[in-house]
């Protein structure tokens, strides 16, 4: 299947402001691009890319005084299959974990593992180690937090999300990650595109999404505590310990967000030359992969 995705974001500044953007698809998905996933700026400014310690593609630029627009529109090929389901995937002992996975057992800015250890054991300590234990935590987080865009906060930690019982997708992910780590299950944060593909449309503006991956049976598996069901068409932009490592944009100065639009839709080959808002397939018209 083909997915057309992209964004149109604008910032207003009073002075020149250096910025960092994580808005390109992850390197492992670049081979799936059917059209270039180029990040465009208006006005045109010099940009430079590098890969951070997590393998994310980062773009550096300086926003001029006034308004700068960042945009991209691309088509990517996807398998069209839901998230992997592996109920027999087990939990590895800590001393058997790869060195680069150990990092995802530790506390981080938004994931205070020691502050939720008792809660994690109370929720899932009786479940079989491995997939069943992670799923028990995911379902508990899904039931505990009420999704509310108006309640979004860039400062909310996993502990606060647990206590306040409200948040957005990043809060669902942070809490599930923290509970997993408290049970010695490596978990990492993911952000990217997730359209309403294969489901009834969600009555909310399209946005970037957050979910997480847990290390089970020697590999990473995607879990989504907000939706608590396998989904189709995840396009990863960035991975890290939590939202600190995966911020879509970081401004090193005052930059006011004045416009924000994200699109993610399944499309047909014949639609690729049309504007993105005209190309989405009707719900129920998704082709088999």
- All structural domains of the chain: 2-79+247-269 (2.60.40.2250), 94-243 (3.10.620.30)
pTM: predicted TM-score of the whole model, two decimal places: 0.92
Q: pLDDT-based confidence at 283, cuts 50/70/90? A: very low
- Please give the average per-residue pLDDT across 210-231, as a whole number: 97
Q: Are the beta carbons of 72 and 38 closer than 8 angstroms?
A: yes
Per residue in 145-172, pLDDT (tens digit) is 999 999 999 999 999 999 999 999 999 9
In angstroms, the CA 57 to CA 236 distance is 11
CA distance 121 to 128: 12
- Taking the CB of residue 271, how many other CB atoms lie within 10 A of it? 18
Contact partners, residue 203, CB within 8 Å, separation at least 6: none
| C-alpha–C-alpha distance, residues 171 and 177, integer Å | 10
Mean pLDDT of 216-234: 97
Tell me what pLDDT residue 280 has: 47
List CB contacts of 255: < 8 A, sequence separation 6 or more: 11, 12, 13, 17, 19, 63
The pLDDT value given to residue 288: 25
Note the pLDDT of residue 246.
98
- pLDDT given at position 277: 56
Closest CA to 220 of 109, 129, 63, 100: 100
Q: What angle do CA 59, 232, 131 make, to 5 degrees?
A: 95
């Amino acid at each position: 299947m083909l997915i057309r995705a992209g964004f149109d974001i604008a910032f207003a500044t009073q002075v020149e402001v250096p910025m960092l953007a994580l808005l390109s698809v992850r390197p492992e998905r670049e081979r799936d691009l059917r059209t270039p996933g180029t990040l465009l700026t208006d006005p045109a400014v010099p940009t430079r890319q590098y890969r951070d310690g997590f393998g994310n593609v980062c773009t550096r630029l300086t926003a001029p005084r006034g308004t700068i627009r960042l945009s991209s529109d691309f088509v990517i090929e996807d398998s069209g299959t839901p998230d992997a389901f592996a109920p027999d995937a087990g939990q590895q002992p800590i001393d058997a974990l790869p060195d680069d996975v150990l990092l995802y057992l530790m506390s981080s800015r938004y994931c205070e593992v020691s502050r939720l250890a008792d809660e994690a054991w109370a929720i899932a300590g009786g479940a079989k180690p491995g997939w069943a234990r992670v799923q028990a935590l995911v379902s508990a987080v899904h039931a505990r937090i009420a999704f509310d865009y108006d309640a979004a906060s860039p400062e909310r930690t996993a502990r606060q999300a647990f206590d306040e019982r409200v948040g957005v997708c990043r809060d669902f992910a942070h809490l599930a990650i923290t509970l997993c780590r408290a049970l010695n299950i490596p978990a990492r944060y993911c952000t990217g595109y997730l359209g309403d593909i294969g489901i009834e449309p969600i009555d909310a503006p399209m946005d970037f999404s957050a979910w997480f991956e847990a290390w089970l049976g020697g590999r990473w598996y995607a879990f989504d505590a907000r939706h608590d069901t396998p989904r189709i068409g995840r396009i990863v932009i960035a991975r890290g310990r939590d939202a600190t490592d995966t911020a879509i944009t970081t401004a090193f100065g005052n930059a006011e967000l004045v416009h924000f639009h994200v699109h993610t839709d399944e499309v047909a080959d014949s639609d690729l030359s049309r504007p993105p808002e005209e190309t989405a397939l009707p719900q129920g018209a998704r082709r088999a992969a």
